[in-house]
Every structure is written in C-alpha cells, then in structure tokens.
Amino acid sequence: MHAKVDTASLRRDYYQRLSTQAMKPLWEVLANLVPPLPATDAQAAIWRWEDALPFLRESGELITAQEAERRVLILENPGLPGQNTCTPTIYAGLQLILPGEVAPAHRHTQSALRFVVDGEGAYTAVNGERVTMHPGDFIITPKWTWHDHGNPGDQAVTWLDGLDIAVVRMLGAQFRENLHEATQGVQRPEGDAAARFGANMLPLDYQPHDGVTPIFCYPYHASRAALMQLHENAGSRVGEGGLHACHGIKLQYVNPASGGSPIPTIAAFLQVLPKGFAGAPYRSTDGMIYSVVEGEGRIEFDDHSFEFKPKDTFVVPSWMRHRLHASEQSVLFSFSDRPIHKALHLWRESVGESVS
C-alpha cells in the first residue's frame, strides 16, 4: 500500500519534470491514441432551417456581405467547441447573400462546395465564369481558383458551404489572396464549362491536371431526374438494380474528366428515399454532412433520433451507426471526407448491424 502510493507520487513528480523537456510518457495515453474502434469527439447534430432562418435574417441586418467578406454562420459541431468545424476534417456553414450584394473575389488552397438551400438568382463566379444558383444545385469552387459571389436578383439566397479547411490546416498548406477588385471580370459566357465538360464529352486537347473537376455546377434538375428514373425502375425492389437497403437510391457526383470525386478531398452524393423507406443500419468511417432537399423523415442512432425536414442540415460522425427513415419521399444531398479515406486505403463501412 505504502509502496504503491510512493510509486504513484514518484511517477507524478517524474511526469512533471519530464514535461519541462517537452516530453511525456506514451504509456499514459497509448489507449487513447490508438483506440480499438474509431473515436471522435464529434457528435451527431441537426441545424433546423426554422431555427437557423431568423438568425440568418438577423445577420443580414447586422453586417453586409462585403464587410463580412463572407456572411456565414458556421455550423460548429457541438462536440468540437471552438474548432469552427462540423466534422474533424470538414467545415460547414450557411452563407447568406442579399439582393444587390457582392462577396468579394479571393482564392485559397482550401476547396469549397456550395449546395443551394434557399432562394435563387445569385451567382458564383469561378475563374471568369458565372453560374446562376437554383435550389439544389451543387457548385464547386476548386482550390486556388478566384471566386466571388453576387446577387443581382430580388431574393435572399442561402447556401450550405463545405470546405476542407481542417485538412489543409493540418497539412500546414493554407495560402490565400484577395483580388484587387471585388468582382472578377467575366471571361466566358455562362454555360461554357457545362457545355465543354458536362455532356459526357471533353475538349480535344483536354489534359487532366490537378484532380479537380472542370465543371463547377451540377444542376439539381439533372441530378434529380437521374435519381427519379432509377427510383421508377427500381420500384420497391431491394438489391441489385433496385433500392440499396441502407441508402435507397444514392449516386455520387463525379469529376467527368477523371471519374474521381469533384474535389480531391470531398465526395458528394444525392439520394432519394422512397415514401415509407426504413433503411437498414449503416456506418462508415467518413463523417457525413447532409442537407435535406425534399421530403420528411427521421435519422435514428443507437440512443436518439432526429426528425428532418427540407433545408435542415445534419451531421453523422465517423462510425456512428444510424438508419434513415422517410415518412415522405425524400431527397438528401450529402458530402464527406471519403476520398481521403479511400486514398489512404482506410475507408470502411458496415451494413446491417442492428441499431439496438
């Protein structure tokens, strides 16, 4: 007994002196550093549109887009306070641009995606080409491309931003520049990139370069039509050619020139859950952020669940078992850090274990 107390206090004293040398004992933290299963402080969370909207509107009265540079409410994971991030790797936020506003041009090494949640008529300009936003459109701002946003229309427009900020920070590879003008010049008419790269064709001299998609808008009407066709073909059949037991009908967005993900670090998906769908339990190592486009349903975890409605955003952390239920036919957009997991051969998924 006496000897034990002695050992404990000797160790404490040793650790204290050791800390002055910028060293510490591995044996005190080994189990945490290398856990048996994925361990993240990130929590499942939902940001309901009806709760977010009044705060977005208020932000519009408090600060202009120009003054803020980007008027965004960060969706910070409640399990990662102070880290300005939604999952350990991926940042998410809701960005508002009001009629007549511009968000000035800059570029950075972080890649961004936008998913249009509410309103239409704003544009994002990427490297000299504008694309007009409609609800459900999925838009890319590749790393190190000049981008600015503007709203020449008459509606407030809100979109969900997703960026690989924490990944680029971890790598110490953050660079950023502001353009000398707020709005970059238009160099090509709207629709140019979509015509060159978005019709299952490529320019004669196209050379794939940096793994980034050459099209930067995936219009909702086209993605939705594909899902609905597959839904119609599948009927209520589960399995090959039919519904996936966990995901309903789910497709991934693709870089048409490479077959890879549109952003090297982020994969994005669109899925339809038929009315009455009760998904099988699922988990995967990538932490997933969802934006609800249409319908109504519920996501069930082992010990709690969230009801979701259109324009809600929710996050499912790495390896957290869950099931999707749809009380109405639902369309969900989602994105995650899956390409990083896959590049490192770390991605795992597990289908069908019971949610207790």
Which residues are near ligand 1HN by CB under 6 A? 70, 72, 93, 95, 103, 112, 147, 161, 163, 165
Q: How far is the CB of 137 from ligand 1HN (least distance, A)?
A: 14
For ligand 1HN, the closer CB: 85 or 336: 85
Q: How far is the CB of 346 from ligand 1HN (least distance, A)?
A: 26
3-state secondary structure the chain: CHHHHHHHHHHHHHHHHHHCCCCCCHHHCHHHHCCCCCCCCCCCEEECHHHHHHHHHHHHHHCCHHHHCCCEEECCCCCCCCCCCCCCCCEEEEEEECCCCEEEEEEECCCEEEEEEECCCCEEEECCEEEECCCCCEEEECCCCCEEEECCCCCCEEEEEEECHHHHHHHCCCCEEECCCCCCCCCECCCHHHHHHCCCCCCCCCCCCCCCCCCCEECHHHHHHHHHHHHHHHCCCECCCCEECCCEEEEECCCCCCCCCCCCCCEEEEEEECCCCECCCEEECCCEEEEEEEEEEEEEECCCEEEECCCCEEEECCCCCEEEEEEEEEEEEEEECHHHHHHCCCCCEEECCCCC
Q: How far is the CB of 82 from ligand 1HN (least distance, A)?
A: 16
What CA–CA distance (Å, rounded) separates 287 from 268?
A: 12
For ligand 1HN, the closer CB: 118 or 300: 118
Cross-strand partners of 278: 325
Q: Position of tokens 């793994």?
A: 211
For ligand 1HN, the closer CB: 163 or 316: 163
For ligand 1HN, the closer CB: 101 or 161: 161
For ligand 1HN, the closer CB: 114 or 311: 114
For ligand 1HN, the closer CB: 161 or 300: 161
Q: How far is the CB of 86 from ligand 1HN (least distance, A)?
A: 12
For ligand 1HN, the closer CB: 45 or 157: 157
Q: How far is the CB of 34 from ligand 1HN (least distance, A)?
A: 32
For ligand 1HN, the closer CB: 66 or 350: 66
> Which of 274, 320, 266 has its CA nearest to residue 297?
274
- Please say whether the beta carbons of 93 and 73 come within 8 A: yes
- Please say whether the beta carbons of 223 and 251 come within 8 A: yes
Q: How far is the CB of 29 from ligand 1HN (least distance, A)?
A: 31
Q: How far is the CB of 107 from ligand 1HN (least distance, A)?
A: 8
Q: Position of tokens 């202009």?
A: 64
Q: How far is the CB of 62 from ligand 1HN (least distance, A)?
A: 18
For ligand 1HN, the closer CB: 103 or 212: 103
Q: How far is the CB of 225 from ligand 1HN (least distance, A)?
A: 28
